[in-house]
């Protein structure tokens, strides 16, 4: 945690960054409410509470998670990275146990992904997105020499761990989260000094893995076929129903949108309008201009994360820099997949839109991650002013990070 010695001054939060985060959260709150407006024949109060329940609470808890993350130093995250990753694996094992021995009580939409806590549930797969970034960043710092000189010994340990993680996720099943985590971890390792000679075969291997996962699952094959012609009569009332409804929603919205709350796709024509297809609801009600403004907000957040990470690495704080950039990659990949699915650019796959979609687990983890970026940025500015931030963390961390940062820079120059 932040030390309180006489040479320590309170870290400051970037107000513009916080303003964008709050604006995105408020946009999500409004759009989730709009996506759940009840039909005139229903009991409005009951339906709204049943479908909107918890989202304002999710936003409040997300802001608390942001504040908590801002109080945790990057050295503390580095120190406990292995323990945190182990905790995430244990949670995934609990989900597997619920799937194997819990019967149908825990099945939702044909999958088991959540751990119940009384009336609440939590999805460990959402938490693993962040924990994998933290662990991969610490791994890249610890094994940067082996990653460049002995690729087998350098990448085999984390490769084995990622195989375990992806196997547990695929057994839920959750192909979308698996894709997000594998792509993000690969990006972190590349930024940490992994050679492009390894990246290219790794990408080919990942493509082959996902192609095999699709080929061996009939419902995923059906989604691919409907993706090619979603509004064909043979698909429009089956596997192409969601995508066809989303495309109609965008067409109805046009340039300026139909108006907030006046969209018709959500009235039984578009499944899951408040989670997996909220981007289509935004496109219909706010139009092309509203979608553009939303994507510009995400572009700002992604760019901010990348810049914060680059500044940290220029200060020879490799771990903090990799974490910040990894979070930026994660937000970018998930936003691209969600918007791509909604617009027909990608095959249908359920993923939430960060900060916007309904979902407590996603909201908590994303807000915590953005709070970590705010903390790293505050540490960067404090370091630039010559102040010492918290403890040095593990023995030799400062020296290791300086050495690793130089090695990572040299490796990237050689790779390019």
Work out the average pLDDT over 128-133.
96
Q: Which residue has the higher pLDDT, 148 or 161?
A: 161
Q: Residue 363 and residue 66: Cα distance in Å, rounded? A: 10
Least confident of 44-58, 98-112, 241-255, 368-382: 44-58
Number of domains forming the structure of the chain: 1
24-51 confidence digits (pLDDT tens): 999 999 999 888 765 554 454 455 555 5
**Tell me, what's the pLDDT at 235?**
57
Q: Residue 367 and residue 180: Cα distance in Å, rounded? A: 17
Q: Residue 374 and residue 67: Cα distance in Å, rounded? A: 10
Q: Which domain holds residue 37?
A: 24-415
**Tell me, what's the pLDDT at 200?**
74
**Tell me, what's the pLDDT at 5?**
33
Q: Residue 393 and residue 77: Cα distance in Å, rounded? A: 9
Work out the average pLDDT over 267-272.
80
Least confident of 67-81, 246-260, 290-304: 246-260
Q: Which residue has the higher pLDDT, 383 or 42?
A: 383
**381: pLDDT strictly greater than 60:** yes
**Tell me, what's the pLDDT at 149?**
60
Least confident of 76-80, 94-98, 142-146: 142-146
Work out the average pLDDT over 48-63.
77
Q: Which residue has the higher pLDDT, 378 or 389?
A: 378
**Tell me, what's the pLDDT at 148?**
65
Q: Among 113, 11, 26, which residue's Cα sits nearest to residue 62?
A: 26
Q: Among 259, 264, 267, which residue's Cα sits nearest to residue 289?
A: 259
Least confident of 72-76, 141-145, 197-201, 357-361: 197-201
Three-state DSSP class for residue 117: strand
Work out the average pLDDT over 288-296.
95
- CB-based contact 327:373 (threshold 8 Å): yes
Could you tell me if residue 96 is inside a domain? yes
Could you tell me if residue 74 is inside a domain? yes
Mean pLDDT (the chain) is 81
**108: pLDDT strictly greater than 70:** yes
Could you tell me if residue 50 is inside a domain? yes
348-371 confidence digits (pLDDT tens): 777 899 999 988 899 999 999 999
**303: pLDDT strictly greater than 90:** yes
User: Ranked by mean pLDDT, which of 168-172, 240-244, 389-393 comes out on top?
Assistant: 168-172
Could you tell me if residue 4 is inside a domain? no
Could you tell me if residue 14 is inside a domain? no
199-251 confidence digits (pLDDT tens): 677 777 777 877 777 777 776 777 777 666 667 666 556 566 778 888 888 98
Could you tell me if residue 370 is inside a domain? yes
Here the tokens at position 285 are 């009600």
Give 318's pLDDT tier (boundaries 50, 70, 90). very high
Contacts of 11 (CB under 8 A, 6+ apart): 2, 70, 375, 378, 379, 382, 389
**402: pLDDT strictly greater than 60:** no
Q: Among 178, 159, 176, 160, which residue's Cα sits nearest to residue 168?
A: 178
- In whole angstroms, how far apart are CA 327 and each of 153, 231, 332, 351, 380? 26, 36, 8, 16, 16
Could you tell me if residue 1 is inside a domain? no
Share of the chain above pLDDT 90, in %: 40
**390: pLDDT strictly greater than 60:** no
**Tell me, what's the pLDDT at 206?**
75
**Tell me, what's the pLDDT at 151?**
64
Work out the average pLDDT over 288-294.
95
Give 395's pLDDT tier (boundaries 50, 70, 90). very low
């Amino acid at each position: 945690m932040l030390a309180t010695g006489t040479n320590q001054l309170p870290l400051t939060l970037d107000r513009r960054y916080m303003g964008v985060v709050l604006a995105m959260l408020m946009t999500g709150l409004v759009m989730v409410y709009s996506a759940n407006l009840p039909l005139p024949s229903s009991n409005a109060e009951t339906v709204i509470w049943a479908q909107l329940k918890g989202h304002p609470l999710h936003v409040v808890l997300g802001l608390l998670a942001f504040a908590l993350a801002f109080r945790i130093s990057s050295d503390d995250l580095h120190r406990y990275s292995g323990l945190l990753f182990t905790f995430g694996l244990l949670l995934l094992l609990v989900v597997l146990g619920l799937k194997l021995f819990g019967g149908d009580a825990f099945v939702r939409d044909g999958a088991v992904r959540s751990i119940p806590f009384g009336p609440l549930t939590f999805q460990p797969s959402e938490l693993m997105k962040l924990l994998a970034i933290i662990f991969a960043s610490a791994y890249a710092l610890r094994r940067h020499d082996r990653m460049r000189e002995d690729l087998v010994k350098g990448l085999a340990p984390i490769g084995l761990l990622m195989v375990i993680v992806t196997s547990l996720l695929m057994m839920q099943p959750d192909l979308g989260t698996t894709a997000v985590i594998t792509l993000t971890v690969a990006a972190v390792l590349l930024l940490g000094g992994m050679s492009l000679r390894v990246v290219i075969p790794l990408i080919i291997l990942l493509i082959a893995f996902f192609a095999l996962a699709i080929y061996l699952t009939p419902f995923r094959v059906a989604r691919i076929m409907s993706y090619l012609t979603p509004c064909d009569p043979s698909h429009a009332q089956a596997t192409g129903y969601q995508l066809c409804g989303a495309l109609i929603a965008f067409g109805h919205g046009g340039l300026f949108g139909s108006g907030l709350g006046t969209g018709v796709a959500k009235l039984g024509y578009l499944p899951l309008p408040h989670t997996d297809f909220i981007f289509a609801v935004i496109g219909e009600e706010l139009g092309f201009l509203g979608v553009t403004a939303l994507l510009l907000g995400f572009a700002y957040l992604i760019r901010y994360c990348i810049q914060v990470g680059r500044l940290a690495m220029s200060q020879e704080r490799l771990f903090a820099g990799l974490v910040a950039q990894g979070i930026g990659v994660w937000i970018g990949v998930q936003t691209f997949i969600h918007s791509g699915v909604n617009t027909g650019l990608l095959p249908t796959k359920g993923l939430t839109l960060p900060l916007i979609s309904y979902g407590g687990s996603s909201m908590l983890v994303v807000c915590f991650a953005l709070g970590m970026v705010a903390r790293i940025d505050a540490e960067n500015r404090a370091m630039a002013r010559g102040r010492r931030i918290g403890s040095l963390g593990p023995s030799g961390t400062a020296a290791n990070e300086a050495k690793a940062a130089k090695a990572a820079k040299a490796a990237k120059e050689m790779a390019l």
